[in-house]
Structure 1
Amino acid sequence: MDYHFSFQHPNTHYFTIKATFTAKTANEEILLPNWRPGRYQIQNFAKRIRSIKALDQNGDHIGLEKLTKSSWRLANEPGSVTITYQYYAFEMDAGNSWLDDEQLYVNFINCCIYTRESLDEPCTISFDLPDDYEIASGLKKIKDHKLYADDYYRLVDSPMFASSSLRRISYSVKDYSFTLWIQGDLPKTDEEIIKDFSRFTALQIDVMGEFPCPKYHFLFQCLPYKHYHGVEHWNSTVITIGPSSALVDRDRYKDFLGVSSHELFHTWNVIRLRPKEMTPYDFQSENYHETGFVTEGVTTYYGDLFLARSGVFSLEEYLQELNKLLKRHYENEGRTNLSVAESSFDLWLDGYERGIPGRKVSIYNEGALAALILDLMIRVKFNNDKSLDDVMRLMWSTHGIDQSGYSFLDYKSAAESVYEETLDRYFDDIISGIHPIEEYLSDLLPKFGLSFDLLASEKVEEKTFGFRLSEQTIADIASGSPAYEKLSIGDKLVSINGNPFNQELLNSDPMTLEIDRYGRSMEVDLIPSESHYFSIYQVSREKNLSSKLLNMIQGWLEN
């Protein structure tokens, strides 16, 4: 399949694709993906296509019948066929495409049609671009504005940027080369970036034993507005982050480092070490799997852990990130209703939206905490001589290098092989169940010199009455709290005890609230409870550690 991209008016955000291929049979079917790897959600990219038509080798029109939302039937004879269409590229994140007067950014999976026969065939991709535009991509460059992919799978796993203002930063680790391509402003020097990136890159390679590809590309969109997103690819990643001006600050720069470390580890975990259900990808339908706690959870855990172990993050900074995971866990009552394995299967239902209250958990967050628990269990049993590192290396050698795919039971088997005994309880409680994680962490974390304490909310309405506010509006309600049967999410507080709403009027005394419930004015009496709501566990380092505890925490968080 040969693809040619062109555009005339970039600020309309439409580019034109001309896809040419040799049809081996009459009445060929052409398709466009409905989803993209890295986001397990039907996205219906065909909704951004217009003016599609087909021509034969003589330039005569071929009939084109729409079969489904993302497939068409050609009324062709065997021979050369050209499909032309326009694609609307005006969604800036790490998984979509963008065209304006400054750049062309394409995730090919959004917009490149295919036939079932062409999935395993080579592709060329050429572009009509301004002469001063440079292309950044993990694909092989044939000419300045022409790329090559071994097959369709590699094409759609290799996004590209093209502009006249790309910044390039390069570094090497062992025999592997890494390039950062930056569109926009990154207020850091090359030396600062190379120092941090080379440290966490070297550690990841040391832990996994090898890097899967000789060259790797970080493609950054540093945006002037708030944004945070990353998507993994075969030998590259796209990361969108902003506001770029905030990257001078340590907190936002930590986000930049965290997502970069996370996406780099995906080069092993999910790009090549992939669930069987996604081997190979079916781009037309949901690829249901229960192992999102591995694909995203383990990766989320390691993303920050590698930064701590390589010295890029301090111990305090790492514990801050761990406490964010714990805070999200305890603020989501979905932890009491749906396991991380079930939530993984349901990614295709509502995995990338908040969803209804208390229904599900995040595979990223809960999977990371599950990985933490397993890692600490292994480290405690073997005094840091073994760890989750050994599980991931075993998974890589048995299911990743050959890209054969793994099952839930394959991961369990690998973990038990390293642990040297059954892990039925861990998998039943933490992965397939909704067992309280504090029953594990309250035992494990002190063995690494860390306290694990339950902290009450500092806000009286959360702690005593069980409701959370967003300005004047009820945003969340704790089960079983005084607010549980009296208030509704979306209620707007108008007054407190007859006084116009003011946050300072909230206290632990009985109170009468006047609320606006979607246009209805009501009064609600709340009696304070002796129980506490919206409490969360947090981690902190103990002082004056014994040599044994010091060795344990250093063995875990220092390389």
Structure 2
Amino acid sequence: MHYKIYSNDRPSHFINVECFITDLSTDTVELQLPAWRPGRYELQHFAKNIQQFEVFDEDGQKLSARKTTKDRWLVHTNGASTIVARYNYYANVINAGSSYVDEHTFYVNPVNLCIYAEGKIDEACTVELQLKANEKIAGITFINKLPEKGLHQLQFDDFYHLADSPFIVSATLKHDFYQIGKVKFHLWFEGNFQPDFKRIKADFKKFTKEQINLFGEFPEKEYHFLTWILPIPYYHGVEHRSSTMQVLGPDSQNFEELYIDLLGLASHELFHTWNICKIRPTELLPYDYTKENYFPTCFVAEGVTTYYGDLMLSRSKFFDETQYLKELEACFKRHFDNADRASQSLVESSWDLWLDGYTPSIPDRKVSVYHKGAIAAQILDLHIQKVSIHTRSLDDVMKLMWQQFGKPFKGYTTEDYQAICEEVANEKLDWYFDVCINGNSSLFDLLNRYLQLLNLEVIRNEEGIISLVKTTN
């Protein structure tokens, strides 16, 4: 498959797409636009943003193309071996998982707007872009410059690779990089923000080293941090195979507060390079873009990652003790203030992400796989440290998950995760999975029993307000 992605009228917010599909030998072919995107486990119905959709053969003759689902088209080829689908996509939302175009910025998340032909999802594909003389492209490693002025061709292993590779084209991109071993980490900024690259590179390098030291290696040859600073309040990031897209704001915010948000988001998303992009639940291998991909282990994918995102900033000394405890307290408050009496377990809420995981729930129904998941991860980490007399920790669990499932890239189950946890703890952990993962009882008292190991305590005052305090031995 080959794509041309451009905009005939950038101020209109419409992106034009031409998808060329070759080597067809059947009377019909089905074209699919993804119904969701990795990192956001809910149906997003991207097809609602398509205004016009037509398909032609190599002679320019229009072919019959009718919808069979909300985002799938059945095309009669009339014997053509090559067809081209031409359509436009309305891109007028800026967040870490969207696409957007205006006269200044051309931001594409391919999973939003690139169709694929059934049976060809595993084939290599290319994207052709026309850049203006002063524009740069951020987020893509595999680029061929063609002889025509400004023409760039992006190369991808398959559609899964393309769908997981957002990019930004703009004349105002700011760029620098740092390197660890042979891996180059690119820093890209768009928006009203003048980055202090010396400071940013030093701090990013510290937490990056901590994460690489945990797993022993980095999964990709290069990595791109794409950050867009908006004039409005925002905090959103999405992980990708070899990049992350981050949207933050407002640009008028106190710089140190914005900087803490930037580092916190970047550390979380980088950890995903191992934990979900590679260490992936079996239900998500491969991604099925046509429907929900239910899985019960988002408490591992997001909860463990949330726990480690801040922990890596503490270990790398970007967070001092006061700041790290502030971040822990914020996580505890978000769970205990909102979902301490929720009826669902972490497993049930992982499954129900596809139902209402990212919107407010009815009272006392669901828990956050991020916040309760992080609390469960911390309890497990402290338990392993306790029973091993500080010779092992959750680090060892994640190392084994990487070696047994991430590096060979084969899916894991809940049972696999429990088995590795028990191997590291050197004991059965049915109690932990019954209470913390499959149960719906409050973790308040259990968390406090383990926080005693750190001389910490979560308290709830007479008004019910949660706070984290230091205790004395």
What TM-score, normalized to structure 1?
0.82
Match in the other structure for 1:82? 84
Q: Are 1:326 and 2:327 an aligned pair?
A: no
Q: Are 1:214 and 2:214 an aligned pair?
A: no
Give distance in 1, aligned partners of 2:327 and 2:343: 25
Match in the other structure for 2:381? 375
Among 274, 288, 295, which residue is 2:280 paired with? 274
Match in the other structure for 2:441? 435
Among 243, 250, 254, which residue is 2:260 paired with? 254
Which string of whole-angstrom CA distances, capped at 9 and with x for unpartnered residues, describes residues 318-359 of structure 1? 110111111111112464311111000000000000121211
Match in the other structure for 2:160? 153
Q: Secondary structure at the match of 2:36?
A: coil
Distance 1:154 1:139, change over 3 A: farther
Equivalent position amino acid for 2:132 in 1: P
Q: Return the offset for 1:132.
A: 1.6
Equivalent position amino acid for 1:20 in 2: F
**Gaps in structure 1 of 5+ consecutive residues:** 458-533, 546-559
Match in the other structure for 1:230? 237
Give distance in 2, aligned partners of 1:333 and 1:165: 43
Is the 2:182–2:221 Cα contact (8 Å) retained in structure 1?
A: yes
Q: Are 1:241 and 2:170 an aligned pair?
A: no
Q: Secondary structure at the match of 2:119?
A: helix
Match in the other structure for 2:9? 9
Which string of whole-angstrom CA distances, capped at 9 and with x for unpartnered residues, describes residues 166-185 of structure 1? 10021011221100111113
Among 341, 345, 355, which residue is 2:351 paired with? 345
| Larger-gyration structure (1/2) | 1
Is the 1:335–1:361 Cα contact (8 Å) retained in structure 2?
A: no
Q: Secondary structure at the match of 2:371?
A: helix
Q: Return the offset for 1:129.
A: 3.0
Match in the other structure for 2:65? 64
Which string of whole-angstrom CA distances, capped at 9 and with x for unpartnered residues, describes residues 185-237 of structure 1? 33441111011100000000001110001210001111111111000001000
Which string of whole-angstrom CA distances, capped at 9 and with x for unpartnered residues, describes residues 120-173 of structure 1? 111110123322211112340011622110100000000010011110021011
Count of aligned residue pairs for this structure pair: 466
Q: Return the offset for 1:382.
A: 1.8
Q: Return the offset for 1:65.
A: 1.4
Among 423, 428, 431, which residue is 1:425 paired with? 431
Q: Give the RMSD, CA atoms, in angstroms.
A: 1.3
The 5 A counterparts of 1:125-524 are 125-143=127-145, 145-246=152-253, 248=255, 250-333=256-339, 335-457=341-463
Equivalent position amino acid for 2:314 in 1: A
Q: Return the offset for 1:535.
A: 4.4
Q: Secondary structure at the match of 2:168?
A: strand
Q: Secondary structure at the match of 1:84?
A: strand
Match in the other structure for 2:468? 539
Give distance in 1, aligned partners of 2:64 and 2:19: 16
Give distance in 1, aligned partners of 2:70 and 2:442: 43
Q: Percent of pairs identical after alignment?
A: 42
Give distance in 2, aligned partners of 1:101 and 1:172: 33
Which string of whole-angstrom CA distances, capped at 9 and with x for unpartnered residues, describes residues 70-122 of structure 1? 11111112401011000101110000100001010000000001012221111
**Gaps in structure 2 of 5+ consecutive residues:** 146-150
Q: Which has the higher contact order (CA 8 A, sep 6+)?
A: 2
Is the 2:58–2:80 Cα contact (8 Å) retained in structure 1?
A: no
Match in the other structure for 1:107? 109
Is the 2:106–2:170 Cα contact (8 Å) retained in structure 1?
A: yes
Equivalent position amino acid for 1:14 in 2: F
Distance 1:452 1:379, change over 3 A: same
Q: Return the offset for 1:270.
A: 0.3
